[in-house]
Chains A and B, each alone.
Chain A
Amino acid sequence: MGFFNFLTRKQFSGGIAKNRLKFVLIQDRATCSDKLLERIKNGILEVLARYIDIDNEELDIQISRDKSENNQDLSILCANIPIKNIKKIE
């Protein structure tokens, strides 16, 4: 580490690597989980179908990334499930 690096405020390559990896892994993990998402979707549908009528066509499930209050990376499972009708259970 040279003294003048401090003056020029060069970003060290280790930090660059870390940031790039964090970003690329978010994308990788999201694509890897396509099959998993499909299974989650079917599982949720199975349970919900016992109680409500769902619009299967319009169903949308996604995993997205967000920051929590203390600025930590969070994965969030978002499900948009349009309800057609609620079944009456005796």
Chain B
Amino acid sequence: MGEVIVVTSGKGGVGKTTCSANIGTGLALSGKTVALVDADIGLRNLDVVMGLENRIVYDLVDVVEGNCRLKQALIRDKRYENLCLLAAAQTKDKDSVNPEQMQKLCLLLKQEFDYVIMDCPAGIEQGFRNAIAGADRAIVVTTPEVSPVRDADRIIGLLMSNGIDNIKLVLNRLRNDMAKRGDMLTIEDVREILAINILGVVPDDEIIVISTNKGEPAVANQHSNAGLAFNNIVKRILGEDLPLHNFDDTDNFISKIKKFFKIKIK
């Protein structure tokens, strides 16, 4: 029996879909079978981030309504064996699915896959309730700014009151240079304010934009800071006890030289 992990945040635009794509791909690269589920019905996104937008025939609502079998709607990613995507419907709205149906779907998926990664829509309405209905644990994504942290706190409360106790935080888009000079919330600040375990810290890295442009998750590129960060997150999900990586290398003399040569070699 697998495990359903919902990736949620409350606030939109903090990187839920990017996190889902990278965590899912990373788990698949570690040899686990993974189903990525886009629960953002009406605003389908995970398919483009994964580069699978041209292969969708059936979607989540088709499965729930019985228009197709689950197997038919699962898109197998040819680049990463073990990885499947269940896309969100683009033309329907959030109310076309209810929490009971999502629970049933999660049970089915758990029998087939080691991990089910559920990409939750922004907000705390029906779409959120659907996405968390079948979840065993949750990853809350936030960036180090006031409004996403505030929303993360609200989401953590809602998850707990829905019986999900295993909640961990991903701090996304941290700018170490700003945090260091005191102009951004630090890892410690966020940990203290939200009183929650931190699963990982992802630095603000242009590789995320580049990899999303191409439809290839950054986790596959271990040479990037963000790729490395997502790899560490995946290892922690799999039970490894890794210290939080400090992505300090922009200030480091040796890494500056390394960077210089990397550019030369290209």
Chain A positions near chain B (C-beta within 8 angstroms): 1, 12-15, 17-18, 20-22, 24-25, 28-29, 32
With A and B bound together, what is the CA distance between A70 and B183 in angstroms? 28
Chain B positions near chain A (C-beta within 8 angstroms): 145-146, 149-150, 153-154, 157, 178-179, 181-186, 189, 192-193
Give the A-B contact count at a CB cut-off of 8 A: 45
With A and B bound together, what is the CA distance between A1 and B182 in angstroms? 8
A21: B residues at CB distance < 8 A: 146, 149-150, 185, 193
8 nearest A-B pairs in the assembled complex, by CB-CB distance: A12-B182, A1-B181, A14-B182, A18-B189, A13-B183, A14-B184, A17-B146, A21-B193
With A and B bound together, what is the CA distance between A63 and B227 in angstroms? 44
B179: A residues at CB distance < 8 A: 14
23 A–B contact pairs at CB < 8 A? A12-B181, A12-B182, A13-B182, A13-B184, A14-B178, A14-B185, A17-B185, A18-B189, A18-B193, A21-B146, A21-B149, A21-B150, A21-B185, A21-B193, A22-B193, A24-B146, A25-B150, A25-B153, A25-B193, A28-B150, A29-B153, A29-B157, A32-B154
With A and B bound together, what is the CA distance between A13 and B147 in angstroms? 14
Report if A17-B157 is in contact (Cβ < 8 Å); known contacts: A22-B193, A25-B193: no
Q: Report whether over half of chain B's contact residues are helix, strand or loop; otherwise say mixed.
A: helix
B150: A residues at CB distance < 8 A: 21, 24-25, 28
Q: Which B-chain residue is minimally distant from A1 (CB atoms)?
A: B181
With A and B bound together, what is the CA distance between A80 and B186 in angstroms? 41
With A and B bound together, what is the CA distance between A29 and B22 in angstroms? 32
B182: A residues at CB distance < 8 A: 1, 12-15
Besides the known contacts A14-B185, A17-B145, A29-B153, 5 further A-B residue pairs in the complex with CB atoms under 8 A apart: A14-B178, A17-B189, A20-B146, A25-B150, A28-B154
With A and B bound together, what is the CA distance between A17 and B179 in angstroms? 12
B154: A residues at CB distance < 8 A: 28, 32
